[in-house]
Amino acid sequence: MCGIVGYVGQHQALPILIKGLKRLEYRGYDSAGIAIQNGRGLQYAKSRGKISALETSINNQKLVGTTGIAHTRWATHGEPTTVNAHPHLDCNHTIALVHNGIIENYRALRSELTAKGHHFVSETDTEILAHLVEEFHGNGTDLCEAVRLALSQVKGTYGIVVASAKEPGTLVAARQGSPLVVGLGKNEFFLASDCAPIVPHTKEVTYLDDGEIVKITEEKITYKTIDDRVIDKAVEKIGFDLDAIEKDGYDHYMLKEIMEQPQTIRDSMRGRLLLEEGTARLGGLAHDLDSLLYARRILITACGTSWHAALIGEYMLEEFVKIPVEVEYASEFRYRDPILDTDSVVIAISQSGETADTLAAVREAKQKRSKVFGICNVVGSTIARETDAGVYLHAGPEIGVASTKAFTSQVTVLALITLLLGRMRSISNARGRRIAQELEELPERVAEALESADQVKAIAEKYHNCRNFLYLGRGYNFPVALEGALKLKEISYIHAEGYPAAEMKHGPIALIDENMPVVVIATQDSTYDKIISNIEEVRARNGRIIAIATKGDKEISKHAQHVIYVPQTLEMLMPVVATIPLQLLAYYIATFRGCDVDQPRNLAKSVTVE
């Protein structure tokens, strides 16, 4: 949700900032802007739309200078127009500021500042920050102190980077609720919403925490808190290489991320499976294992695709660990009065580790003194740092806005947790070994499922003009139906619904006619016969059936117009395999419709506002 970049160093800032913005474009792409400071003042450019539009708009301008800030926006307050694009400036164009987050008390501050004579040009909440800094800056108050004083009046969330024409070669950044990473190069520093813009330049970083502010010049970096204590920050290493954020010859990040799943699933399990003992080893949980093991209740909270993974986790944990599990949308959890006690544990699942609702749910659960575990992909993310313990996915950076590889890694990690806890409670060694062995072979099963790509593409070509899709599944495959429908909606803008197959009779069956493709996950498991009956109910109403079935199932082709085969695995792991053709189906349908797969309209990858 909005990406920000900053640079101070000896190189020209413009190309570094533009490249950095492109790596953050997944966070928002409504408008973009840049400001460069060069000792003679601030020069800036803004444009509606994507970063390519910004590049075109600055084609003829000379934005020369070695210090600068830039922004790509996902609109919250104010339409995505050029005037609402960041950077925002003060009255005299002395201060330029980029912001990710929401200033909650901006109306009151805007009235106060207007009364003092400030002139506002945009409808954004952000612009008040530039004017507020202007109020304090000058007369002996340097930029860092002015930003600190301004922020002490602000309520809300922010990651900001600020430049001032009065202090060449200086940037000030601060964080409250929206992520900011500082890259430490040789005589140069970088600021960004995540590590992707930084990794081409340096792997050494510090992560700002809430309530912290940093002043950067070419020679020096100083950290303090907003309440004015000087602090030290630990230098950390970025754990991935540049290749991980390149498209690698694929047309889209999403396709690359779908295709790399055999590897990412393997990476999620690396060093964690104990085949002989039939269990798993999860270092991140080791110290707090007892609270999970003896929990009377587990509550899993998440948003979007991560919420679908959570549902699969519920099925697994209840079946094998025998602890009652509830799954709740983080956005609901945080505003209810959830009953939590010291015997309840909470697991928060988030690819980005920054989703505002999930983070608020984590804080709410901690407030109620529950143990909170995190399952995150982004190392060093806020949820990863604020939870008591947790497990990283190690799936590598996910850049396509629609989540794919993170989902299969989330389910894999939930299976590892299930195996570990299950073996400590009730599962026998033999059963544990069977699960461990199937997990070990899961990357190969996924590779086999990916072989359906050409067939799925042909089906996508046939159905890409349909206006509605229904996805049905039962048991472990019900969340797969939800996820398949969400993928299609997100990137192709086709209306799609996921349903537990038997529930179809209670409503969606009314929608079925010869124009309605119905994707049924009908793999051979404990609910197979039942789902065949559901398929027949669709056929009787002339619906078009696209079945996801287990290799070797000859019966199914009598019931479905199209059958996409996936290899057999354990029922609990089937969601990982069965999701693959659904990801491909959404991808190919979206490309046939000419949609922007990696940056679907109105969405952002990391939703850092509620």
Nearer to ligand G6P, 157 or 355 (CB): 355
Helix (H, G, I), strand (E, B) or coil at 138: strand
Cβ-based nearer residue to ligand G6P, 85 or 486: 486
Nearer to ligand G6P by C-beta: 351 or 523? 351
Q: Smallest distance from the beta carbon of 7 to ligand G6P, in angstroms?
A: 26
> Can 22 be counted among the known catalytic residues?
no
**287, HSE (Cβ side, Cα atoms, 13 Å):** 7
State in angstroms the smallest separation of the CB of 20 from ligand G6P.
21
- Tally of CB atoms within 10 A around 319: 15
Give the residue nearest to ligand G6P (CB).
304
Write the DSSP assignment of 37-57 as a string of letters: E-SS-EEEEEEES-HHHHHHH
Which C-beta is closer to ligand G6P: that of 134 or that of 490? Answer: 490
Quickly list DSSP for 472-521: EE-GGGHHHHHHHHHHHHHHH--EEEEEEGGGGGGTGGGG-STT-EEEEE
- Alpha-carbon gap, residue 524 to 533, rounded angstroms: 14
Query: What single letter denotes the amino acid at residue 247?
Result: K
Write down the least CB distance from residue 381 to ligand G6P, Å: 8
- Contact residues for ligand G6P (CB under 6 A)? 303-306, 350-352, 355, 358, 401-403, 603, 605-607
Consecutive H or E run containing 7: strand 3-8
Closer to ligand G6P at the Cβ: 410 or 550? 410
Check if the beta carbon of residue 372 is closer than 8 Å to that of residue 362: yes
Least distance in Å: CB of 490 to ligand G6P? 7
User: Which of these is catalytic: 50, 215, 487, 605?
Assistant: 605
Nearer to ligand G6P, 351 or 418 (CB): 351
Which of 78, 85, 14, 98 is CA-nearest to residue 48? 85
Complete edge-to-edge strand list for the sheet that includes strand 170-176: 88-89, 95-100, 158-164, 170-176, 212-217, 221-225, 230-231
What minimum distance in Å lies between the beta carbon of 170 and ligand G6P? 33
Residues 6 or more apart in contact with residue 65 via CB below 8 angstroms? 12, 13, 14, 36, 37, 38, 39, 43
| Counts for the chain of helices (H) and strands (E), in that order | 18, 27
Whether cis (ω within 30° of 0) applies to the bond prior to 87 is: yes
CA distances from 418 to 173, 319, 325, 372 (A): 42, 9, 12, 17
Tell me, yes or no, if 505 is annotated catalytic: no
To ligand G6P, the closest distance from the beta carbon of 402 in angstroms equals 6
Instruction: Pick the closer one to ligand G6P by CB: 57 or 351.
Output: 351
Q: How far is the CB of 398 from ligand G6P (least distance, A)?
A: 8
Q: Which residues are catalytic?
A: 2, 605
